[in-house]
Amino acid sequence: MMTSMGYLLTWSSILELLVLQQLRLVHSWEKICFQMGWGSIYKRRVKVFTLSVVIYLDYKALQVREKWTKSSKRDELWEKAHECNAKRVLKLIVELEGLWVKLGQYLSTRADVLPPAYINHLKQLQDSLPPRKLEEVCLIINQELGKSIDDLFLNFDNIPLATASIAQVHRATLRDGQDVVVKVQHEGIKEIILEDLKNAKSIVDWIAWAEPQYDFNPMIDEWCKEAPKELNFNIEADNTREVSRNLGCKSNFDDNVINRVEVLIPNIIMSTEKVLILEYMDGVRLNDSVSLQEMGVDKQKLVEEISRAYAHQIYIDGFFNGDPHPGNFLVSKAPPHRPILLDFGLTKRLSSPLKQALAKMFLASAEGDHVALLSSFTEMGLKLRLDVPEQVMEIANVFFRTSTPAAEAAKTMKALAQQRDKNMKVLQEKMKLNEKQVKRFNPVDAFPGDIIIFSRVINLLRGLSSSMGLRVNYVDIMRPFAESVLQGNVNKGPAANPNWMHDTPILSNVENKLRKLLIELGNADKVLGIQVCAYKDGEVIIDTAAGVLGRYDPRPVQPDSLFPVFSVSKGITAGMVHWLVDKRKLNLSDKVENIWPEFGSDGKDKIKVHHVLNHTAGLQNAMGSVARENPLLLTDWDECLNCITKMVPETEPGDGEHSILIMVALQDKNDYADTCYNKLSRYWFKLVMPHASKKKFPEILEEAFIQPLNINGELYIGIPPGVESRLATLTSDAEDIKRLSEMAKSRPDIPASFQSQMQDPSEIASALPALFNTLFARRAIIPSANAHCSARALARYYAALVDQGAIPPPHASPAEPKLGSHQHIPKFSSPKSTKKQKGSKHSRNNSKDGSSLKKASGANYTKVPSEDVSSSSISVAIREYGNDQTTAKLFTNSRIHDAFVGAGDYEELTLPGGQFGLGFKRSYSEDGKLIGFGHSGLGGSTGYCDIDNRFSIGVTLNKLNMGGVTAKIMQLVCSELNIPLPSDFYRFSERIADDDSNIAPLIN
């Protein structure tokens, strides 16, 4: 019987024989191609494919032999293989020329990841290829310029300065005595490169078939689009002039010191399609270490300045050179030895949105901002097949990592391989794939071709510094440029940005006046991004969006943008409680301990559900000390629940109102956001109710309000994966934060725990937005503080409540996208598939079993679905809750308004004369009449409705303030509609604002 060693050695020998066989085959194929008249085109293709197979089999054979080789000999074995294959690659590239030289040039700069043997051999391709004959050069110059060399030049050096893939460069002197360089395109190179692109496309297709996780089709498609442009030197001349202007190479930089770059670019003298004449600049090659040392050049500063020049081109200009290999740089001999940038044949122009998305991706990687990173992917068209924010962040960090010297390439490659293996294990566990499936799984569903050249440039720059033995921190170098492109657009208020107001038709006279007010507030720097929507008598009268999504997110606010609204969440959660009470699944007089036994300890056994709703549970300072010690624990509800069970009431239940609403909850596993990244998303929390474990919080919200109101995708408490690109980012109004801090000492009604947190305004201004901007906080289910919604979804919700739960008519606004058109829980493409599906994409509104929720219930949910729609989750909920109602209402209780505000039969459940009803903030007119209800959040976002006037409004904003912005909006709208202004907003009016020291923030 053959031993294991013999078996492996036999297979090793077989693989080696296959290599030799392939080498013989190439000669046979060459003869066949010639005999059949296929010529050099197919001959080139056969050579490329043959060498690819030879090298592949060679390394496969080496992997087998390595297992039976002594550890001390393995490195030597690999070095010999690298040396042999590097020579093979170089020989074939020199023979083929064309696009393969470009590939070799790129590989020659990747000293950070490739073995030294490849770098040492392939660096010859940068500018030291065998030159074409002088006769050929002279002929092309004559054909292109219509004159001979003798007529054009006083001197023309016969030996070229450099020879590369497409052309060679000669030094010459014009008739007027000016020293120039003449770039002459190789004869027949155009046909060769176009054929090489076809060959490369075929190889990429083969690789994608053999190893599906390595699908490079987007990359080769981008090359097929951009590479042919290099063959027209008129285009290169225009590119050179544009980059030179952008970098200010001929200016004194008096107006922009921060982003100044110290580089040189030659002037263009003359150009045709195949000949380019440029100004001669005396310099040494970038990879000439001896000359650089003799000149006393600081190589670190030199490469950093080159990197800054590229950061300027990418992030500020949106137009950059795509080929920064060492052969395209010189260093001026004259002090201060500036880098000279050459060869602008391969360039890339970025659209403004893409440029902003790339800047956002870079800063998100630098800041560890998962939300911004995922959003930037969506903005640039990069789609993933699964939700793995931690792994995505690691990949981004690797992409923008600090370069390491070439001597550490092996260590770098090992670390990257280990990281890749770790990520693949995460994918395998998450997607439940076996080892074979995970090897063929490609997590990328769509890769935008527009960022291929950008990726190439970043890799080439890192390879450039590695080959020169340098460590370059690209985050520090590029950050100012990325920040400037985002901040520059964000800082443009309405006066400088004609697109500041979202362009939708004006629905009413009051909306016209509102938009003028918003423009005034925007110019006064009081508004960053905002949405306002209002209903009157069941119809939409305002639907406005304006501003930008964040301080570093200059994208315009859209009608479907999602804003964090803090305590506005309480009004939504309160509505869910009343919905459950209406379905007889909960009683307002139930003791909390009967639902949550652990809660009843330490004197909390008397607290009932209605105490929690009307803020009289006696736990006004609950979590105060925890919040001061570690604010992140406020989003860790396992820890929060544990802390609340240990709290001791400060007052008897029902004795007085407090500013903190306690949301008691039970745990249950999360279906759609159970990610390894976010522990907070492992559990959903149900409000106090019997049989809570049967329903998850998002399911109740969707069944109660989202689907019936047709506000899919625009109201969440805890966002699902896939909506990150629509999120607004919070920031603070520094002036209002300072005023809030000064007021703390004079406000006895503010809890002591909150006062203690208000002493440092700068801490508040940075900590709170930073916390709630994080992905784990946004995805956490915090029923009292973590809603994300659009103003139109919020206004529609209150429009239904103001009519005792009656569903309003369809949202009749021309704003796009239409309200309810989003898939509420976005779905990733099939994880089992590695090939793109043909045809249209999946329907947005399909439920898990394939049924359409919209179709199941008729247009816009004018009726609650009947029981025969078994595929609908709503009909399942209706059967469970025993609701056979077919009218278009959310509640059966005819006194639901009394329940909301704690009036009539519900009055005994609330504090007499108190601010709160049962979960909602009561709103009074100036003369003390109860007129409506709602809830405002920290920073000014508000949901409100006026009962008698059938009016509802939603305001969402991302620049946190004390409520003054919202108050001005409410004052204008109520005045124009001739309805009473809620007293909460009177304190912001000019009538009492002469002394604003007593103006309390709009928080409830």
Question: pLDDT for 361-415, tens place per residue?
Answer: 999 888 888 888 888 998 998 888 778 888 888 888 888 888 878 777 667 777 7
- Which has the closest alpha carbon to 535: 240, 262, 808? 808
- Residue 787 domain-assigned? no
Cα separation, 690 vs 666, in Å, equals 10
What pLDDT, in 10s, does the model give residues 113-151? Answer: 678 888 888 877 766 678 899 999 999 999 999 999 999
The answer, yes or no, to whether the previous bond of 698 is cis (omega within 30 of 0) is no
* One-letter amino acid of 288: D
pLDDT for 882: 37
CB of 729 closer than 8 Å to CB of 553:
yes
Cα separation, 159 vs 293, in Å, equals 27
Residue 601 in 3-state DSSP?
coil
pLDDT for 633: 63
Better-scored residue on pLDDT, 34 or 527: 527
The tally of domains found in the chain comes to 2
What pLDDT, in 10s, does the model give residues 205-247? Answer: 877 777 666 677 777 787 788 878 889 999 999 999 999 999 9
> Which of these ranges, 167-171, 481-485, 611-615, 820-824, has the smallest mean pLDDT?
611-615
pLDDT for 177: 95
Q: Which residues contact 837 (CB under 8 A, 6 or more apart)?
A: 829, 830
The answer, yes or no, to whether the previous bond of 218 is cis (omega within 30 of 0) is no
pLDDT for 243: 96
Better-scored residue on pLDDT, 424 or 544: 544
pLDDT for 830: 56
pLDDT for 728: 94
pLDDT for 487: 77
478-496: average pLDDT: 82
pLDDT for 252: 53
Q: Return the structure tokens found at 555.
A: 């994208």
Helix (H) or strand (E) holding 899: helix 896-901
Alpha carbon dihedral 812, 817, 820, 822, in 10-degree steps, equals 180
pLDDT for 500: 94
CB of 724 closer than 8 Å to CB of 378:
yes
Better-scored residue on pLDDT, 940 or 651: 940
Residue 746 has pLDDT above 50, yes or no: yes
Among residues 112, 127, 323, 736, which one is catalytic?
323
CA-angle at 632, arms to 628 and 635, nearest 5°: 115
CB of 104 closer than 8 Å to CB of 125:
yes
* Residue range(s) defining the domain that contains residue 417: 352-490
57-65: average pLDDT: 83
Residue 39 in 3-state DSSP?
helix
- Pick the most confident of 695-709, 851-865, 871-885: 695-709
pLDDT for 404: 77
Please identify, among 150, 175, 208, the residue that sits at the C-terminal boundary of a domain. Answer: 208
What pLDDT, in 10s, does the model give residues 980-992? Answer: 999 988 766 544 3
> Which of these ranges, 492-496, 947-951, 954-958, has the smallest mean pLDDT?
492-496
- Residue 390 domain-assigned? yes
pLDDT for 137: 95
The pair phi, psi for residue 35, each rounded to 5°, is: -65, -35
DSSP 330: E
* pTM exceeds cut of 0.85: no
> Which of these ranges, 315-324, 518-527, 643-652, 679-688, has the smallest mean pLDDT?
679-688
Task: Report the DSSP beta bridge partners of residue 944.
Answer: 934, 953
- Residue 995 domain-assigned? no
- Residue 438 domain-assigned? yes
Residue 608 has pLDDT above 80, yes or no: yes
Is 255 catalytic? The answer is no
CB of 518 closer than 8 Å to CB of 544:
yes
- Residue 169 domain-assigned? no
> Which of these ranges, 512-516, 710-714, 772-776, 896-900, has the smallest mean pLDDT?
772-776
Task: Report the DSSP beta bridge partners of residue 943.
Answer: 935, 954
The pair phi, psi for residue 923, each rounded to 5°, is: -120, 130
13-27: average pLDDT: 45
Please identify, among 433, 457, 490, the residue that sits at the C-terminal boundary of a domain. Answer: 490
> Which of these ranges, 312-321, 734-743, 922-931, has the smallest mean pLDDT?
734-743
- Which has the closest alpha carbon to 697: 663, 729, 730? 663
491-517: average pLDDT: 91
State how far the alpha carbon of 975 is from the alpha carbons of 221, 364, 745, 967, in Å: 59, 43, 34, 12
- Residue 576 domain-assigned? no
Q: Return the structure tokens found at 526.
A: 């009081």
Q: How far is CA 863 from the centre of its chain?
A: 38
Mean pLDDT of the chain: 78
Residue 716 has pLDDT above 50, yes or no: yes
pLDDT for 284: 95
Better-scored residue on pLDDT, 177 or 438: 177
pLDDT for 782: 82
821-836: average pLDDT: 68
Better-scored residue on pLDDT, 526 or 881: 526
Residue 868 has pLDDT above 50, yes or no: no
pLDDT for 904: 93
Please identify, among 149, 174, 208, the residue that sits at the C-terminal boundary of a domain. Answer: 208
630-655: average pLDDT: 69
Better-scored residue on pLDDT, 622 or 314: 314
- Which has the closest alpha carbon to 943: 845, 784, 741, 799? 799
50-54: average pLDDT: 84
Residue 932 has pLDDT above 70, yes or no: yes
Banded model confidence at residue 323, pLDDT cuts 50, 70, 90: confident
